[in-house]
Structure 1
Amino acid sequence: MAGGLGYLAEKLYQQELVEEAAKAEALERDPPALVNIASFNRDENMSDVKEVNVSAWINADYNYELIERTNGIVRARRFMYVLFGEGDSQDSKVARGALGLTEAQKEAFATHYARYGVGFSEHGAVLALNGFAGSGNGFSSLVSDAFRDEALTKSENFVYVEPFLDGREAALTPYGEPEKARKTVWMIAAGVAMFGAVKLLFKRQKTDQKHRTVRKHPEDRFAGSPIASKRGREASMPMATQRPQAVMSKNIAKDSPIGRMYSRIAEEANQAEPALTPDRVPENRTRVNRTTEPRKAVWKKNQCS
């Protein structure tokens, strides 16, 4: 995301530089010729920097305050003035254009209203409005709603006029806006990158801690047994000389069936291979202890007794 924002910042920067250069070039030329807004055509009467110069009159019957709310809270407002052309009647329902001004712009427009006048008609003053062709500044949907309430329609070349309230030179002179926009987007990109780096760092620390915990406390299936692994405890096994022996009661005769059985078992035990010593036991592996056979004999003996 940070890389994408950085790329976007550079693209916007280059685009803004081109636009500023075009505005500086337009400043060297005269503004577009003044044209009746009823005859305005975007292809013929708008410059490459979207500069327009139209004459129009304002029908005060359609003055609107456009208010944008979110969850009942006022977020922004604009003051709309609907423009009509010379020759349009007072009852005309075809709007040629509109002004959408902030409250500060409205006050400035009202204060210097006389400077825009170029004549009079039966409907009032005719104004010369030099400015940029705008997009409604995010209020186009509210403008459409107001037009629907008033049964107004937009002409084919309807235009939102953003007048040069501070003069044409001030509007077309570069003020380093591309560099400001570039820095702003790069700061956002840096913030996104920092957030991603911190998130990745915490994720790695959490993973490493989990792995360290597993290595420090392994699950040992032999823990607590005589053949526990060396990681859990020291191996402890009886020595080979400590082999369990079958013990025959003194009351049993050697030539009796039980006595002969014990003699045979003792003989087989003496012939068995030596018990495993501790150094021969592989770590964490299960082995069969071949010295268990005498234990079976002891178990049988106990049963008999």
Structure 2
Amino acid sequence: MFRLVFSFPWPVYFVLAALVVGGGFYMGNEEKLLNAARLEALKAPMPDVVDASKVTSNSFSAVDEINVAAQVDLDAIYTVSVSGKRTIDTKKTILFAFSPDAIDKSQPVATAFMLETSQDIAAFLDKFMVAKPRALSTVIHVNGESAYVSSKLEGVVEDAAREAGLTLSQNVQFVEPFMQGREFGLRQRSEADHIKFGLFVAALLAGYGVVRFIMTQNKRRKEQVEAPEGQAEA
């Protein structure tokens, strides 16, 4: 696979470099629009609470913010880890969420909270607690944002739920709580990082394109020099 990537004709690398630069500027502009939306979101109150059992992808705001009313299964707290040959280990603590009115764990899980492994579960519950313990746990209103979950990590979470005897809904939503507060969670992100990364990758591609061009030219010169010699011997 890698051999194929490094064997394209030299013009391809310049085309790829241009596409990467364009992609970097596009992502930078998208981040700029999101930053403006985050500023507007902070001027307004946090979203109305949504029952954890009814959360869908449409429950999130334009800046992926959500406010979830839930109980969590304190008997099924999992630290999941996904690692690969060329990837950094990903470790997260998963808490499966149920309706604040749930009396058991029979309903499919529509929401799962995702915390950094260093974050304390007790601190999480204390921060978002709004009512005393019910059937499963204290009732919490968790303000946070949609969490990116790779298909591999989602598979690990599904295995954890199965081990706990729980059923995940078909489109379970993962929420990363604003443990450092809403203002920090909706902080401005760097727009320039996308552009810088795009320019860096484009420079590598263009540089290799130059190398491929030189290699191609040298090969042609060598063939031109060797061709008459071969004809003379014939």
* TM bucket normalised to smaller: 0.7 to 0.9
Q: Does 1:203 align with 2:216?
A: yes
The within-5 A match list for 1:55-66 is 55-66=69-80
Q: Say how many residue pairs are matched.
A: 216
Q: Does 1:212 align with 2:225?
A: yes
Q: What is the CA–CA distance in structure 1 between the aligned matches of 2:214 and 2:76, rounded to whole Å?
A: 59
Q: What is the CA–CA distance in structure 1 between the aligned matches of 2:97 and 2:125, rounded to whole Å?
A: 15
Tell me if structure 1 keeps the 8 A contact 2:46–2:67.
yes
Q: Deviations over 1:40-71 (max 9, x none)?
A: 4654x432212110121211222122121436
Q: Deviations over 1:144-182 (max 9, x none)?
A: 222233342234774211111111111212132x21022
Q: Shift of the alpha carbon at 1:75?
A: 2.7
The residue that corresponds to 1:88 in the other structure is 102
Instruction: Provide structure 2 residue ranges, at least 5 long, that are not aligned to the other structure.
Output: 1-15
Q: Shift of the alpha carbon at 1:14?
A: 1.9
Tell me if structure 2 keeps the 8 A contact 1:67–1:74.
no
TM-align CA RMSD: 2.7
Tell me if structure 1 keeps the 8 A contact 2:115–2:177.
no
The residue that corresponds to 1:9 in the other structure is 24
Q: What is the CA–CA distance in structure 1 between the aligned matches of 2:95 and 2:226, rounded to whole Å?
A: 71
- Name the structure, 1 or 2, with higher relative contact order (CA <8 Å, separation 6+): 2
The within-5 A match list for 1:190-269 is 190-214=203-227, 219=232
The residue that corresponds to 1:128 in the other structure is 141
Tell me if structure 1 keeps the 8 A contact 2:105–2:166.
no
Q: What is the CA–CA distance in structure 1 between the aligned matches of 2:96 and 2:51, rounded to whole Å?
A: 15
Residues 1:110 and 1:151: Cα distance change in structure 2 (over 3 Å): closer
Q: Comparing both structures, which one devotes a greater share of its residues to strand?
A: 2
Q: Does 1:103 align with 2:117?
A: yes
Instruction: Give 1:79's match in structure 2, choosing from 70, 76, 93.
Output: 93
Tell me if structure 2 keeps the 8 A contact 1:55–1:127.
yes
Question: Over alpha carbons, which structure has the higher Rg?
Answer: 1
Q: Does 1:114 align with 2:118?
A: no
Q: Deviations over 1:54-103 (max 9, x none)?
A: 121211222122121436x9832222111111121234242131112232
Q: Deviations over 1:255-293 (max 9, x none)?
A: xxxxxxxxxxxxxxxxxxxxxxxxxxxxxxxxxxxxxxx
Residues 1:70 and 1:136: Cα distance change in structure 2 (over 3 Å): closer
Q: What is the CA–CA distance in structure 1 between the aligned matches of 2:196 and 2:122, rounded to whole Å?
A: 36
Opposite residue 223 of structure 2, the aligned amino acid is: K
The within-5 A match list for 1:103-182 is 103-104=117-118, 106-107=119-120, 110-111=122-123, 113-122=125-134, 123-138=136-151, 139-155=153-169, 158-176=172-190, 178-182=191-195
Opposite residue 164 of structure 1, the aligned amino acid is: F
Q: Shift of the alpha carbon at 1:206?
A: 2.5
TM-score (norm 1): 0.63
Mean CA deviation greater in 109-118 or 60-69: 109-118
Tell me if structure 2 keeps the 8 A contact 1:27–1:173.
no
The within-5 A match list for 1:289-304 is none
Q: Shift of the alpha carbon at 1:11?
A: 2.0
Instruction: Provide structure 1 residue ranges, at least 5 long, that are not aligned to the other structure.
Output: 222-305
TM-score (norm 2): 0.79
Tell me if structure 2 keeps the 8 A contact 1:81–1:98.
yes
Q: What is the CA–CA distance in structure 2 between the aligned matches of 1:129 and 1:41, rounded to whole Å?
A: 15
The residue that corresponds to 1:35 in the other structure is 50
2:212 alignment partner, SS class: helix
